[in-house]
Amino acid sequence: MSLYCGIACRRKSFWSYRLLSTYVTKSRYLFELKEDDDACKKAQQTGAFYLFHSLAPLLQKSEHQYQAPQHSLLELERLLAKFGQDTQRIEDSVLIGCSEQHEAWFALDLGLNSSSSINASLQKQEMETELKGSFMELRKALFQLNTKDASLLSTAQALLRWHDGHQFCSRSGQPTKKNMAGSKRVCPSNKIIYYPQIQVNLRELEAAGWFSHDEVATALRRNNPYTQQQNGTFWLPPKLAIAHQLIKEWVEKPNCSTLPA
C-alpha cells in the first residue's frame, strides 16, 4: 500500500510539474512575441490565422456544431491577392495565443478599416463564398463551439474591438500605431503607450471579481446556482453555458500554481 501511494504521488507530481513547465514555456514564448516585432513576424510564417469580418468570426458548419477554420500565412496571402488586396493588411492581425508546440495563433478582421492600412474592407458575401463559411455573430454561435475555439474567438473579438476603437491618441489626436502582436498601441508624436482595457467594462459586464480555487470548487458543488460570499453574491453561469464548462475544466485540472514538493 505504501509503495502504491508513493508511486501514485510521484506520478501526480511529475504530471503537475510537466503541466506547469508547459504553461511557463508558453507564457515566455507569448511574452517574447508581444515584445519583439521581428520574432512575432517570424512566428506568422508558421502560425495560423482566424478570420473575422466586422468583428464576426468565420465559422463552418460541422454536423451539430460550428468550427473555426485556421488559415496559414500562404493561404491568407493568396486570398488577399485574389481580392486585389495588399499583403500589408496582414500587419493588422493580433496575437491571441499559441499551441504547446509553439504554433502562434493570430486573428485578422477583413471588414474593419485600419488607420495603418490603405486597404478598404472586403465584401462579406464574396469572402463567405470564397472561404466556404459564414461570418456569424459570436454570441449566437457560442454554444455550438468547442471550448478551445470559444475561448480563442472571444479573446480575438475583444482585442480586435479594442484596436478598432483606439486608433487615435486621446491627447494628441494623432493616429496610434499597433505593434506587430497587437499587445499595445503607441502614439508616435508623444510616445504614449496604450494597452488593452485589464478593468471592467460595466456596459458589457454586470460585475467582476477574483475568487480562489476553493471558492469556485465549492460553488460548483452546490445545488443552488450561486453561493453566498462575505462581500456579496457569487453567481455561476448555467451548466449549458460555455463559461460554466470553462470554469469546471479549470477546477478539475491538477493545480499547477505551485511547484510540486
In 3-state terms, what secondary structure has residue 172?
coil
Write down the pLDDT at residue 29. Answer: 93
Write down the pLDDT at residue 121. Answer: 60
Torsion sign across C-alpha atoms 49, 73, 70, 78: positive
Q: What value, to the nearest 5°, has the Cα angle with vertex 256 and ends 253 and 261?
A: 125
Write down the pLDDT at residue 7. Answer: 53
Q: Which amino acid is it at 51? A: L
Q: How many CA within 13 A on the CB side of residue 254?
A: 16
Q: How many CA within 13 A on the CB side of residue 146?
A: 9
Write down the pLDDT at residue 242. Answer: 79
* Segment holding 27, helix H or strand E: helix 2-35
d(CA 127, CA 76): 12
Write down the pLDDT at residue 13. Answer: 56
Burial grade of 1 (CB within 10 A; 0-12, 13-18, 19 or more): exposed
Q: Are 178 and 163 in contact (CB under 8 A)?
A: yes
- Structure pTM? 0.70
Mean pLDDT by 10 residues, the chain (261 residues): 53 51 84 95 97 95 90 96 90 94 96 58 84 92 87 93 93 94 95 80 65 78 55 70 81 52 35
